Amino acid sequence: MKIYVGNLSFETTENDLQDLFEQHGTVNEVRLMMDRITGKSRGFAFVTMNDNAQAGAALNGLNGHELNGRALTVNEARPREERPRPYGGGGGGGRRSFADNRR
């Protein structure tokens, strides 16, 4: 199960999350989301746990838990939504000749 962890302090590390979630079971992966430009934390992460019972225990036990001065938001991650690409699309037609515009 993939778990969303939000409202993270910018000082929180992947190791902090690994240690916290391992109190409830085996953690497969921790991905702290970072801003591409600044290299700083974006304030949320994803934790993957294979055992659904352990993941459920983590959800129940850690939602609202305080870490580095912040109350965590912990819930099951939703599938990623497809977003429109920032450029491209639409088209705009081909090239028109001068004769096409004379009317």
Domains defined for the chain, CATH in brackets: 2-76 (3.30.70.330)
Amino acid symbol at 80: R
The percent of residues in the chain predicted with pLDDT above 90, rounded, is: 76
pLDDT of the residue at 93: 53
Mean pLDDT of all residues in the chain?
88
Quick: pLDDT tens for 14-52.
999 999 999 999 999 999 999 999 999 999 999 999 999
Residue range 60-74: mean pLDDT, rounded: 97
pLDDT of the residue at 82: 78
Phi, psi at 74, each rounded to 5°:
-125, 120
Q: Compute the distance between CA of residue 73 and CA of residue 64 in angstroms, rounded to an integer.
A: 6
